[in-house]
Structure 1
Protein backbone atom coordinates (compact mmCIF):
# COMPACT_ATOMS: atom_id res chain seq x y z
CA UNK A 1 0.00 0.00 0.00
CA UNK A 2 1.44 3.43 -0.96
CA UNK A 3 2.52 5.69 1.88
CA UNK A 4 0.34 8.81 2.27
CA UNK A 5 2.75 11.77 2.56
CA UNK A 6 0.05 14.00 4.01
CA UNK A 7 -0.46 17.60 2.88
CA UNK A 8 1.59 18.55 -0.17
CA UNK A 9 2.27 22.07 1.05
CA UNK A 10 5.94 21.19 1.57
CA UNK A 11 6.37 20.19 -2.10
CA UNK A 12 7.96 22.59 -4.56
CA UNK A 13 7.07 22.55 -8.25
CA UNK A 14 9.48 20.78 -10.56
CA UNK A 15 11.39 22.83 -13.14
CA UNK A 16 10.37 21.36 -16.48
CA UNK A 17 12.05 22.30 -19.76
CA UNK A 18 9.88 21.06 -22.63
CA UNK A 19 12.49 19.70 -25.01
CA UNK A 20 10.29 20.14 -28.07
CA UNK A 21 10.29 23.91 -27.44
CA UNK A 22 14.08 24.17 -27.15
CA UNK A 23 16.23 24.75 -30.25
CA UNK A 24 19.12 22.59 -31.42
CA UNK A 25 22.10 24.94 -31.54
CA UNK A 26 25.11 24.35 -33.81
CA UNK A 27 28.20 24.26 -31.62
CA UNK A 28 30.96 25.28 -34.00
CA UNK A 29 32.32 21.74 -34.27
CA UNK A 30 31.42 20.06 -37.59
CA UNK A 31 28.08 18.26 -37.25
CA UNK A 32 27.67 18.85 -33.51
CA UNK A 33 24.50 20.48 -32.22
CA UNK A 34 23.30 20.76 -28.64
CA UNK A 35 19.95 21.32 -26.98
CA UNK A 36 20.50 23.05 -23.63
CA UNK A 37 18.39 21.73 -20.76
CA UNK A 38 19.85 23.38 -17.63
CA UNK A 39 22.62 25.79 -16.67
CA UNK A 40 23.74 24.98 -13.14
CA UNK A 41 24.01 27.76 -10.55
CA UNK A 42 27.28 29.64 -10.14
CA UNK A 43 28.56 28.35 -13.49
CA UNK A 44 29.16 24.88 -11.99
CA UNK A 45 28.17 23.10 -15.19
CA UNK A 46 25.43 22.39 -17.68
CA UNK A 47 23.07 19.66 -18.85
CA UNK A 48 22.29 19.20 -22.53
CA UNK A 49 21.35 16.82 -25.29
CA UNK A 50 24.15 16.33 -27.78
CA UNK A 51 23.51 15.27 -31.39
CA UNK A 52 26.05 14.29 -34.07
CA UNK A 53 25.69 12.58 -37.46
CA UNK A 54 27.58 9.42 -38.45
CA UNK A 55 31.25 10.00 -39.18
CA UNK A 56 31.54 13.03 -36.88
CA UNK A 57 34.48 13.28 -34.50
CA UNK A 58 34.57 14.85 -31.05
CA UNK A 59 38.14 16.21 -31.04
CA UNK A 60 40.70 15.74 -28.30
CA UNK A 61 39.45 17.43 -25.14
CA UNK A 62 39.91 17.54 -21.37
CA UNK A 63 37.22 17.83 -18.70
CA UNK A 64 38.03 20.20 -15.81
CA UNK A 65 35.17 18.61 -13.85
CA UNK A 66 33.42 15.28 -14.09
CA UNK A 67 31.13 14.44 -17.00
CA UNK A 68 28.22 11.99 -17.12
CA UNK A 69 26.86 10.78 -20.47
CA UNK A 70 23.86 8.54 -21.10
CA UNK A 71 23.69 7.38 -24.71
CA UNK A 72 20.17 7.54 -26.16
CA UNK A 73 20.77 6.56 -29.80
CA UNK A 74 23.61 5.90 -32.21
CA UNK A 75 27.03 4.43 -31.63
CA UNK A 76 30.41 5.95 -30.85
CA UNK A 77 33.88 4.55 -30.56
CA UNK A 78 35.99 5.96 -27.74
CA UNK A 79 39.70 6.64 -28.26
CA UNK A 80 40.49 3.46 -26.28
CA UNK A 81 38.49 1.39 -28.79
CA UNK A 82 35.40 0.81 -26.63
CA UNK A 83 32.04 0.98 -28.41
CA UNK A 84 29.23 2.87 -26.65
CA UNK A 85 25.62 2.42 -27.74
CA UNK A 86 22.02 3.09 -26.71
CA UNK A 87 21.50 2.61 -22.97
CA UNK A 88 25.20 2.86 -22.09
CA UNK A 89 26.45 5.29 -19.44
CA UNK A 90 29.95 6.80 -19.48
CA UNK A 91 31.55 8.56 -16.50
CA UNK A 92 34.59 10.77 -17.03
CA UNK A 93 36.36 12.10 -13.91
CA UNK A 94 37.84 15.59 -13.68
CA UNK A 95 41.05 15.78 -15.72
CA UNK A 96 39.96 13.03 -18.15
CA UNK A 97 41.35 13.51 -21.68
CA UNK A 98 39.78 11.76 -24.67
CA UNK A 99 38.34 11.96 -28.17
CA UNK A 100 35.76 9.81 -29.92
CA UNK A 101 33.92 9.32 -33.21
CA UNK A 102 30.37 8.47 -34.25
CA UNK A 103 30.30 5.06 -35.95
CA UNK A 104 27.57 3.23 -37.82
CA UNK A 105 24.78 4.85 -39.79
CA UNK A 106 22.60 6.27 -37.01
CA UNK A 107 22.58 9.81 -35.59
CA UNK A 108 24.11 9.90 -32.12
CA UNK A 109 22.02 11.48 -29.37
CA UNK A 110 23.21 11.58 -25.78
CA UNK A 111 22.21 13.24 -22.52
CA UNK A 112 25.29 14.92 -21.06
CA UNK A 113 25.88 16.54 -17.68
CA UNK A 114 29.17 18.42 -17.62
CA UNK A 115 30.67 19.94 -14.49
CA UNK A 116 33.30 22.63 -15.02
CA UNK A 117 34.68 23.30 -18.48
CA UNK A 118 35.58 21.33 -21.59
CA UNK A 119 38.98 22.31 -22.96
CA UNK A 120 39.75 21.41 -26.60
CA UNK A 121 43.39 20.45 -27.07
CA UNK A 122 45.84 20.77 -29.94
CA UNK A 123 49.35 19.47 -30.57
CA UNK A 124 51.37 18.99 -27.41
CA UNK A 125 48.31 19.56 -25.25
CA UNK A 126 47.98 23.22 -26.29
CA UNK A 127 44.61 24.81 -25.54
CA UNK A 128 42.63 25.37 -28.78
CA UNK A 129 39.29 26.33 -27.26
CA UNK A 130 37.13 26.11 -24.19
CA UNK A 131 33.45 25.91 -23.32
CA UNK A 132 31.65 26.06 -20.00
CA UNK A 133 28.21 26.89 -18.59
CA UNK A 134 28.65 30.63 -19.21
CA UNK A 135 29.68 30.05 -22.82
CA UNK A 136 26.84 27.60 -23.44
CA UNK A 137 24.33 30.04 -21.88
CA UNK A 138 25.59 32.90 -24.05
CA UNK A 139 25.45 30.76 -27.21
CA UNK A 140 21.84 29.79 -26.37
CA UNK A 141 20.79 33.41 -25.79
CA UNK A 142 22.59 34.65 -28.91
CA UNK A 143 21.12 31.88 -31.10
CA UNK A 144 17.57 32.62 -29.88
CA UNK A 145 18.03 36.39 -30.13
CA UNK A 146 19.31 36.23 -33.73
CA UNK A 147 16.25 34.21 -34.74
CA UNK A 148 13.62 36.07 -32.73
CA UNK A 149 13.01 33.03 -30.52
CA UNK A 150 11.93 33.35 -26.89
CA UNK A 151 14.42 31.93 -24.42
CA UNK A 152 13.21 29.50 -21.79
CA UNK A 153 14.44 29.90 -18.20
CA UNK A 154 17.02 27.13 -17.92
CA UNK A 155 18.78 28.56 -14.86
CA UNK A 156 19.13 26.72 -11.58
CA UNK A 157 17.19 28.44 -8.82
Structure 2
Protein backbone atom coordinates (compact mmCIF):
# COMPACT_ATOMS: atom_id res chain seq x y z
CA UNK A 1 0.00 0.00 0.00
CA UNK A 2 1.46 3.39 -0.92
CA UNK A 3 1.61 6.42 1.35
CA UNK A 4 -1.37 8.22 -0.24
CA UNK A 5 -3.68 5.22 0.16
CA UNK A 6 -2.58 4.73 3.78
CA UNK A 7 -3.20 8.43 4.50
CA UNK A 8 -6.67 8.39 2.95
CA UNK A 9 -7.70 5.18 4.74
CA UNK A 10 -6.59 6.59 8.12
CA UNK A 11 -8.35 9.91 7.47
CA UNK A 12 -11.57 8.12 6.49
CA UNK A 13 -11.54 6.13 9.72
CA UNK A 14 -10.84 9.25 11.78
CA UNK A 15 -13.73 11.13 10.13
CA UNK A 16 -16.04 8.11 10.51
CA UNK A 17 -16.66 7.98 6.75
CA UNK A 18 -16.36 5.36 4.07
CA UNK A 19 -16.75 7.79 1.16
CA UNK A 20 -15.36 11.16 0.11
CA UNK A 21 -17.61 14.23 0.26
CA UNK A 22 -18.54 15.14 -3.34
CA UNK A 23 -18.05 18.80 -4.25
CA UNK A 24 -18.89 18.77 -7.92
CA UNK A 25 -17.90 16.95 -11.07
CA UNK A 26 -14.56 15.25 -10.44
CA UNK A 27 -13.86 16.93 -7.06
CA UNK A 28 -14.11 15.54 -3.52
CA UNK A 29 -12.94 16.48 -0.04
CA UNK A 30 -12.23 14.70 3.23
CA UNK A 31 -12.10 16.83 6.39
CA UNK A 32 -9.21 16.20 8.77
CA UNK A 33 -9.50 19.02 11.31
CA UNK A 34 -11.43 22.22 11.98
CA UNK A 35 -9.29 24.95 13.53
CA UNK A 36 -10.47 26.56 16.80
CA UNK A 37 -12.83 29.53 16.68
CA UNK A 38 -13.66 28.95 12.99
CA UNK A 39 -10.18 30.11 11.96
CA UNK A 40 -9.95 27.57 9.11
CA UNK A 41 -9.80 23.90 8.25
CA UNK A 42 -7.52 21.07 7.19
CA UNK A 43 -8.59 18.62 4.50
CA UNK A 44 -7.61 16.24 1.76
CA UNK A 45 -8.75 17.32 -1.70
CA UNK A 46 -9.11 14.84 -4.55
CA UNK A 47 -9.56 15.88 -8.18
CA UNK A 48 -9.68 14.03 -11.46
CA UNK A 49 -7.26 15.16 -14.18
CA UNK A 50 -8.70 18.09 -16.10
CA UNK A 51 -10.76 19.49 -13.22
CA UNK A 52 -10.07 23.16 -12.63
CA UNK A 53 -10.61 25.26 -9.52
CA UNK A 54 -11.91 28.62 -10.67
CA UNK A 55 -10.44 32.01 -9.85
CA UNK A 56 -10.41 32.45 -6.09
CA UNK A 57 -8.87 34.56 -3.33
CA UNK A 58 -7.80 33.48 0.15
CA UNK A 59 -8.42 35.84 3.06
CA UNK A 60 -5.88 33.88 5.13
CA UNK A 61 -2.80 31.87 4.27
CA UNK A 62 -2.92 28.40 2.72
CA UNK A 63 -0.43 25.54 2.98
CA UNK A 64 -0.75 22.74 0.40
CA UNK A 65 1.24 19.53 0.02
CA UNK A 66 0.69 17.41 -3.08
CA UNK A 67 0.51 13.76 -2.02
CA UNK A 68 -0.24 12.27 -5.45
CA UNK A 69 -0.82 13.46 -8.99
CA UNK A 70 0.00 16.91 -10.30
CA UNK A 71 -1.55 20.31 -10.83
CA UNK A 72 -0.72 23.37 -12.88
CA UNK A 73 -0.99 26.77 -11.24
CA UNK A 74 -2.19 29.84 -13.11
CA UNK A 75 1.40 31.13 -13.23
CA UNK A 76 2.46 28.01 -15.18
CA UNK A 77 4.21 26.14 -12.37
CA UNK A 78 3.57 22.40 -12.23
CA UNK A 79 3.21 21.01 -8.71
CA UNK A 80 3.94 17.29 -8.37
CA UNK A 81 3.75 14.72 -5.57
CA UNK A 82 5.93 15.88 -2.68
CA UNK A 83 5.83 19.55 -3.69
CA UNK A 84 4.66 22.17 -1.18
CA UNK A 85 2.98 25.49 -1.94
CA UNK A 86 2.40 28.40 0.45
CA UNK A 87 -0.18 31.01 -0.52
CA UNK A 88 -0.16 34.20 1.55
CA UNK A 89 -3.35 35.93 2.64
CA UNK A 90 -4.86 37.85 -0.27
CA UNK A 91 -3.46 35.49 -2.90
CA UNK A 92 -5.63 35.28 -6.04
CA UNK A 93 -5.22 32.29 -8.35
CA UNK A 94 -6.76 29.36 -10.17
CA UNK A 95 -5.31 25.93 -10.84
CA UNK A 96 -6.15 22.62 -12.46
CA UNK A 97 -5.38 18.93 -11.99
CA UNK A 98 -3.16 17.75 -14.84
CA UNK A 99 -1.46 14.55 -15.91
CA UNK A 100 -3.06 11.11 -15.93
CA UNK A 101 -3.39 10.31 -12.20
CA UNK A 102 -5.89 11.60 -9.67
CA UNK A 103 -4.65 14.58 -7.68
CA UNK A 104 -4.50 14.31 -3.90
CA UNK A 105 -3.60 17.43 -1.93
CA UNK A 106 -3.32 17.98 1.84
CA UNK A 107 -4.50 21.56 2.44
CA UNK A 108 -4.52 23.85 5.48
CA UNK A 109 -6.83 26.80 4.80
CA UNK A 110 -7.00 29.76 7.15
CA UNK A 111 -9.73 32.35 6.75
CA UNK A 112 -12.16 32.14 3.84
CA UNK A 113 -11.99 31.19 0.18
CA UNK A 114 -13.73 33.69 -2.10
CA UNK A 115 -14.60 32.49 -5.61
CA UNK A 116 -14.43 35.43 -7.98
CA UNK A 117 -16.30 36.59 -11.06
CA UNK A 118 -15.89 39.51 -13.41
CA UNK A 119 -13.91 42.42 -11.96
CA UNK A 120 -13.07 40.17 -8.99
CA UNK A 121 -16.62 40.34 -7.65
CA UNK A 122 -17.22 37.70 -4.98
CA UNK A 123 -19.54 34.97 -6.27
CA UNK A 124 -19.23 32.63 -3.31
CA UNK A 125 -17.50 32.57 0.09
CA UNK A 126 -16.54 29.38 1.87
CA UNK A 127 -15.44 29.36 5.49
CA UNK A 128 -14.82 26.78 8.22
CA UNK A 129 -18.46 26.82 9.36
CA UNK A 130 -19.55 26.00 5.80
CA UNK A 131 -17.04 23.13 5.59
CA UNK A 132 -18.16 21.77 8.98
CA UNK A 133 -21.81 21.92 7.89
CA UNK A 134 -20.99 20.06 4.66
CA UNK A 135 -19.30 17.35 6.72
CA UNK A 136 -22.30 17.05 9.05
CA UNK A 137 -24.76 16.89 6.11
CA UNK A 138 -22.67 14.20 4.44
CA UNK A 139 -22.51 12.17 7.67
CA UNK A 140 -26.29 12.43 8.06
CA UNK A 141 -26.83 11.32 4.45
CA UNK A 142 -24.50 8.34 5.03
CA UNK A 143 -26.22 7.46 8.34
CA UNK A 144 -23.12 7.99 10.47
CA UNK A 145 -22.46 10.14 13.52
CA UNK A 146 -20.12 13.09 12.83
CA UNK A 147 -16.88 12.93 14.78
CA UNK A 148 -15.18 15.72 16.70
CA UNK A 149 -12.53 16.89 14.23
CA UNK A 150 -11.25 19.86 16.19
Give the superposed CA RMSD: 1.3
Q: Please list every run of 5 or more consecutive structure 1 residues that lacks an aligned counterpart in the other structure.
A: 1-17
Corresponding residue SS for 1:137? helix
1:19 corresponds in structure 2 to: 11
Shift of 1:20: 2.9
Moved over 6 A (4+): none
Query: Take 1:63 and 1:138, find their aligned partners in 2: how far apart are those partners?
Result: 20
Larger Rg: 1
Residue by residue, what CA displacement relative to the aligned partner does 1:38-61 show, whole Å, maximum 9, x if unpaired?
Answer: 001100000000000000001100
Query: Take 1:141 and 1:70, find their aligned partners in 2: how far apart are those partners?
Result: 25
Q: Please list every run of 5 or more consecutive structure 2 residues that lacks an aligned counterpart in the other structure.
A: 1-9
1:151 aligns with 2:146: yes
Query: Take 1:124 and 1:152, find their aligned partners in 2: how far apart are those partners?
Result: 40
Contact 2:69–2:99 (8 Å) recurs in 1: yes
1:31 aligns with 2:26: yes
Query: Take 2:79 and 2:85, find their aligned partners in 1: how far apart are those partners?
Result: 8
Give the TM-score of the pair, scaled to structure 1. Answer: 0.84
Among 113, 118, 128, the alignment partner of 1:123 is: 118
Give the TM-score of the pair, scaled to structure 2. Answer: 0.88
